[in-house]
Each structure stands twice: as structure tokens, then as C-alpha cells.
Amino acid sequence: MMNQYIDHTLLKPEATAQQIIKLCEEAKEFKFKAVCVNSYFVKLAKEQLKDSGVMVCTVVGFPLGASTLETKRFEALKAIHEGAQEIDMVINVSALKSRQLDYVKEDIESLAKLCHSQKAILKVILETALLTPEEITLASKLALEAGADFIKTSTGFSSRGASLEDIRLMREATSDKIKIKASGGIKDLETAMSFIQAGAHRLGTSSGVALMNGHSSSTAY
């Protein structure tokens, strides 16, 4: 079922509480897998989704990934305590490009252990728009080795969102040993289906309602 692939998402900095409430109402109506909101709104989303079966997801180190490991840990733990069941952390792109690979792996591994100790899921955002194919492959392998549950293509705030080539590279690098989330630019049913067929297990989109209704959307994320 398409609805169970969708992380119904609203991460815009200008998002209001009323918009988050609407997002949650839509998620309950269509029985989406999760809502994805900024950590400020985790408590509100948790309240709105009580007993609905829809999970609460939030982002950490978002959208640049350049905050310290310790900062990401604090942010993740606070969000989990407030009701988040899934954490989408942004990889340290700067460290990856500087070939500080031990730090990149430690950054992910630290969050993975924290999340799993709290029975939460960790997704690692690679921000593929900023990476070469070699770096996408490398980042995917590091996330797998570090114990992440998912690798995710994009924040939706860079120069582009997900591509089918991203998914291909991520799958080849990890041999289906880790789940994949495609995000950014998924605005119509045809695009959504193409990512699922390519191997995505989850879709991050603000166009979930349009997808369920078989329409396209001009929404940015």
C-alpha cells in the first residue's frame, strides 16, 4: 500500500502549529507511515497522533549536518524523550569530503546506538546532491557499517532532491542490507512508484495527500 511508504513531511522554517496539526490530521486520514517535522513540533505531533499508529519522525543536525557529534546526540535524545520514534540525521558532509571517515562513521554510530537503546529508528541523510557517485557509495557503506536502519537521499533543502541514480548507487553499495528512503522532489504518483520500484522502502514528501489522490503537487519538498 502506497500510504505505508510515506513520511508525510513539513520541515519549512515558516511552518505554523496549525499547519502541523493539519499535517497530522492528513496522516491519520490516509494512515501514512509517519509524519516528519522539526524537533520543535515533536510534542505537538505526538499529541495529535496519539493512538493513531502513525509514527513521529524528526530531523537532527538539519539541514547542513555540520553540528558536532555531541550536539546531534543531545538533539536526538531530547526529541526521543518528547515522542519521536524515528530520527533522520544529516551526515557530516564536510567531514566526508575531507576524508575524515572515522569521524563520519563515529557520528553515525553514536546516533545509531543512542536511537536503538531508546527503541528508535535511525535514518542517515546523505545529501546526495552535494556528493560525487564515489562519495554516495562511500557514505552508504559507512552508514551500513555504523548500524543505521536507513540511508536517505536528501534534506529537500539542497540543489536537488532524490534521483533514481542515487537509489541505484545506494543499493549497489549496501546490497540491500539497509533500507533506503528517497526524499525531495517526489510530487506525483509516477515519480513515487519509480522510486519504490528502484528499491526505496520509504518516501519523504510533503505531497502525500496528492499522491494518494493520484494528483501532482507543486509543493517544494
For the chain, count helices (H), then strands (E): 9, 8
Segments of 52-102 assigned E as strands: 55-60, 86-90
CA-based radius of gyration for the chain: 16
pLDDT at 75: 98
- Between CA 98 and CA 95 the distance in angstroms is 5
User: Which one is predicted more confidently, 195 or 215?
Assistant: 195
Give the cell for residue 206: 510533503
For the cut 60, the answer to whether the pLDDT of residue 141 exceeds it is yes
pLDDT at 205: 97
pLDDT at 220: 41
Establish how many alpha carbons lie within 13 A of residue 168's alpha carbon, considering only the half-sphere containing its beta carbon. 5
pLDDT confidence of 217, banded at 50, 70, 90?
A: low
pLDDT tens-digit profile of 43-93? Answer: 999 999 999 999 999 999 999 999 999 999 999 999 999 999 999 999 999
Residues recognised as catalytic:
88, 152, 181
For the cut 90, the answer to whether the pLDDT of residue 194 exceeds it is yes
Q: In the chain, what are the domain boundaries? A: 2-212
For the cut 70, the answer to whether the pLDDT of residue 195 exceeds it is yes
pLDDT at 114: 98
pLDDT at 164: 97
**Which of these, 123, 140, 159, lies nearest to 36 by C-alpha position?**
123
pLDDT confidence of 221, banded at 50, 70, 90?
A: very low
For the cut 80, the answer to whether the pLDDT of residue 218 exceeds it is no
The domain defined by 2-212 folds into TIM Barrel (3.20.20)
Check: CB of residue 81 under 8 Å from CB of residue 73.
Answer: no
pLDDT at 94: 98
pLDDT at 119: 98
In terms of Cβ atoms closer than 10 Å to its own Cβ (0-12, 13-18, 19+), residue 132 is exposed
